Amino acid sequence: MWCIGRLTEEYRRRMYGLLDLYARPYRKQEPVVCIDEKSKQLLKHTRPVLPIRPGAAAKHDYEYKRAGTCNLRRRGTQG
């Protein structure tokens, strides 16, 4: 889990600088681009899913098999 170690003066300076950047009005010539990345575990079913039936949802077994990992990337722009 990501967490903040210590709230040092340098950390505060950088944080407020970033918040000031996000608070600027939108400028088409200088858009603010944000990028986020998250690692996710890929899972496979070990048993077939029981299909949906009238009055009952599909049933998934709790057991799974690891199938590697992937990185999800998201990009957003201000405005």
pTM: 0.45
Token pair listed for 6: 């210590």
* pLDDT surpasses 80 at 63: yes
DSSP string, 1-52: --------HHHHHHHHHHHHHHHSPP-TTS--EEEEEEEEEEEEESSPPBPP
* pLDDT surpasses 90 at 36: no
Q: Given this model, what pLDDT does residue 42 score?
A: 94
